[in-house]
């Protein structure tokens, strides 16, 4: 800029003719200066290369995260691989056999039937001679289904008073029938209908009110209907405790948690719904923390030996803490086992950016799950024999992961997926050695699906009592589903039994009696 044009740049090479004119001391000084320049250049090149690598890593990470988020938001929810396309081969002149269509009475044999006789208002005349026709007794039959819309009634209860006709000294009133909430404006049937419409059918109470309005019952107070769910939750609390005992008595427990919003009523708005389940019972608790202490407190006196979960550090901590307490009580130690669906899911997330590498692992998992399908309804010995055939597939994935990891960025989705598999290989393959351990935790995640859908529908709870009611009713409803029991039939039977002074029972017990 303002420098002499003849002045040489520090980084320009010096002509040999000029170097020959320099003295020995100047040459030494020049050599030292040149060395410093070279070192400066080397450091600058090294810094720029490091910066370039860092930018490349961040670019890979951002692109991978974008793909993962995009797939979660807009991709298919199912993790099943699409079946291979098969070419349809014509079978000559053979015509496909039509499936027999079942009549409604065949499909729903338990539904009550209405016999409707359809006749002419007046006997028609014969088309041949004009004589009036007579009923032959023959019929042409058809079937269809119908429905009677929900009806609401007001019950006026009149309790009779009894008096003494001899001395006229006493009057006694017939006691009221037992109810979930004596004196309430709503019957037991309506309280159960409101509660199960919300916690079983996932219809918010605001929509329940709107549905009733369309049926001719306008102005149902939403807040008082919400209160009825609390009355039901308190009334069936004994069965909720028994469900907890059933879960704790199983040797293999499944665990998962999901966020829950506390809209008001507590300083902490970010709560969590914790779920623990066995093969026949599902138990939920609502807490204002995601700390592993919640799981540790649940596990400390369980009879379980294995905890199946995702690789959340809180569960590892819970098992460590619980085992310290269990040793003092001389109870068996619990082992962490992890869900293979989570491991497979990571390779599916990596597939879009690394299709060839990820497909290898997806195909291996496909073979593993096909073998697992063969274990259904098999005795433990046969299950273990089938699961032994899975071990070579797991070993192949382990070796491939060890070979491929150095070839990709540490932050890439494929390396993250392979690292997940390698770090948790023992826990992911534990199910191959014990027939009671499931291959994944999908059953527990399915139990949380309704609470998650419900959370999106009614946004959260407005009080700690609401969170507790949610945990109680979801525990009993989801336990009904586990045992393939109709929740409405179970709740009606449970309430009737409690009114009669009988002990509460769980859906599993209801199924066997």
Reported as half-sphere exposure (CB side, CA atoms, 13 A), residue 440 has a value of 15
Q: Mean pLDDT over residues 424-448, rounded?
A: 90
Query: Domain count of the chain?
Result: 1
Contacts of 284 (CB under 8 A, 6+ apart): 273, 274, 275, 276, 451, 470, 471, 474, 475, 478
74-96: per-residue pLDDT in tens?
555 556 666 655 555 555 555 56
pTM attached to this predicted model:
0.77
Q: Could you tell me which residue, 118 or 495, shows the higher pLDDT?
A: 495
CB atoms near residue 326 (< 10 Å): 18
- Look at strands 161-163 and 171-173 and give their pairing: antiparallel
Assess if residue 373 is contained within a domain: yes
Residue from 153, 230, 142, 148 nearest 194 by CA:
230
Assess if residue 301 is contained within a domain: no
Q: Mean pLDDT over residues 209-218, rounded?
A: 92
Helices (H), 303-441: 313-328, 340-350, 355-373, 380-388, 391-404, 413-423, 425-428
What is the percent of the chain where pLDDT is above 70? 85
Assess if residue 357 is contained within a domain: yes
Assess if residue 434 is contained within a domain: yes
Report how far residue 210's alpha carbon sits from residue 217's, in angstroms, rounded to the nearest whole number. Answer: 9
- At 3, the pLDDT band (50, 70, 90 cuts) reads very low
Assess if residue 238 is contained within a domain: no
Assess if residue 361 is contained within a domain: yes
CB atoms near residue 374 (< 10 Å): 13
Assess if residue 371 is contained within a domain: yes
- For residues 310 and 321, the answer to whether their CB atoms sit within 8 Å is no
* Residues present in the chain in total: 513
Report how far residue 296's alpha carbon sits from residue 282's, in angstroms, rounded to the nearest whole number. Answer: 17
- At 481, the pLDDT band (50, 70, 90 cuts) reads very high
Longest dimension (CA), the chain: 147
* DSSP-based three-state secondary structure for 158: coil
* Lookup result for tokens 């060839």: 356
Assess if residue 15 is contained within a domain: no
At residue 1, the pLDDT reads 46
Report how far residue 499's alpha carbon sits from residue 274's, in angstroms, rounded to the nearest whole number. Answer: 31
Reported as half-sphere exposure (CB side, CA atoms, 13 A), residue 503 has a value of 5
* Chain centre to alpha carbon of residue 41: 57
Residue from 283, 232, 229, 275 nearest 491 by CA:
232
Does an H or E element contain 451, and which? helix 442-458
Report how far residue 433's alpha carbon sits from residue 384's, in angstroms, rounded to the nearest whole number. Answer: 7
Report how far residue 38's alpha carbon sits from residue 215's, in angstroms, rounded to the nearest whole number. Answer: 88
Q: Could you tell me which residue, 416 or 149, shows the higher pLDDT?
A: 416
- At 170, the pLDDT band (50, 70, 90 cuts) reads very high
* Lookup result for tokens 């040489």: 8
> Domain span at residue 384?
341-440
- For residues 191 and 180, the answer to whether their CB atoms sit within 8 Å is yes
Q: Apex CA 210: angle with CA 209 and CA 216, to 5°?
A: 90
Please determine, for residue 282, whether its predicted confidence score (pLDDT) is greater than 80.
Answer: yes
* Chain centre to alpha carbon of residue 377: 24
Task: Tell me which DSSP letter residue 251 carries.
Answer: S
Contacts of 20 (CB under 8 A, 6+ apart): none
């Amino acid at each position: 800029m303002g420098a002499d044009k003849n002045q040489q740049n520090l980084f320009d090479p010096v002509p040999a003719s000029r170097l020959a004119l320099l003295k020995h001391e100047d040459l030494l000084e020049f050599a030292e200066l040149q060395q410093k320049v070279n070192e400066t250049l080397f450091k600058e090149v090294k810094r720029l290369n490091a910066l370039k690598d860092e930018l490349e890593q961040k670019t890979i990470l951002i692109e991978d995260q974008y793909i993962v988020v995009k797939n979660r938001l807009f991709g298919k929810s199912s993790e099943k691989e699409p079946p291979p396309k098969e070419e349809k081969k014509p079978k000559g002149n053979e015509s496909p056999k039509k499936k027999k269509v079942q009549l409604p009475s065949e499909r729903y044999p338990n539904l009550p039937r209405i016999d409707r006789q359809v006749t002419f208002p007046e006997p028609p005349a014969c088309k041949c001679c004009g004589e009036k026709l007579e009923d032959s007794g023959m019929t042409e039959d058809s079937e269809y289904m119908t429905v009677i819309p929900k009806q609401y009634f007001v019950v006026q209860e009149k309790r009779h008073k009894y008096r003494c006709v001899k001395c006229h000294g006493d009057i006694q009133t017939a006691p009221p029938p037992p109810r979930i909430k004596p004196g309430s404006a709503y019957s037991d049937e309506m309280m159960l209908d409101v509660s199960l419409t919300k916690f079983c059918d996932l219809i918010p109470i605001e929509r329940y009110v709107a549905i009733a309005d369309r049926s001719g019952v306008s102005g149902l107070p939403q807040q008082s209907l919400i209160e009825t769910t609390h009355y039901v939750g308190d009334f069936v609390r004994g069965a909720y405790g028994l469900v907890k005992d059933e879960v704790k008595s199983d040797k293999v427990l499944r665990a998962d948690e999901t966020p829950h919003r506390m809209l008001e009523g507590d300083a902490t708005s970010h709560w969590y719904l914790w779920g623990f389940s066995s093969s026949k019972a599902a138990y939920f608790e609502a807490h204002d923390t995601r700390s592993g202490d919640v799981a540790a407190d649940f596990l400390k006196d369980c009879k379980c030996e294995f905890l199946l979960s995702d690789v959340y550090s809180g569960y590892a901590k819970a098992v460590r803490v619980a085992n310290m307490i269990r040793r003092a009580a001389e109870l068996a130690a619990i082992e962490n086992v992890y869900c293979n669906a989570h491991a497979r899911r990571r390779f599916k997330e990596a597939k879009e950016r690394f299709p060839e590498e990820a497909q290898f692992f997806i195909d291996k998992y496909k073979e593993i799950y096909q073998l697992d399908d063969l274990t259904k309804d098999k005795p433990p010995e046969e299950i273990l024999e089938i699961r032994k055939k899975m071990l070579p597939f797991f070993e192949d994935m382990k070796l491939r992961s060890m070979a491929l990891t150095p070839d990709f960025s540490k932050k890439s989705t494929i390396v993250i997926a392979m690292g997940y598999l390698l770090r948790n290989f023992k826990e992911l393959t534990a199910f191959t050695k014990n027939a009671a351990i499931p291959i994944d935790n999908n059953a527990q995640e399915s139990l949380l699906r309704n609470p998650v859908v419900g959370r999106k529908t009614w946004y959260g709870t407005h009080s700690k009592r609401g969170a507790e009611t949610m945990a109680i009713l979801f525990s009993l409803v989801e336990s009904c589903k586990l045992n393939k029991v109709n929740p409405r039939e179970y709740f009606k039977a449970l309430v009737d039994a409690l009114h009669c002074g009988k002990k509460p029972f769980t859906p599993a017990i209801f199924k066997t009696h």
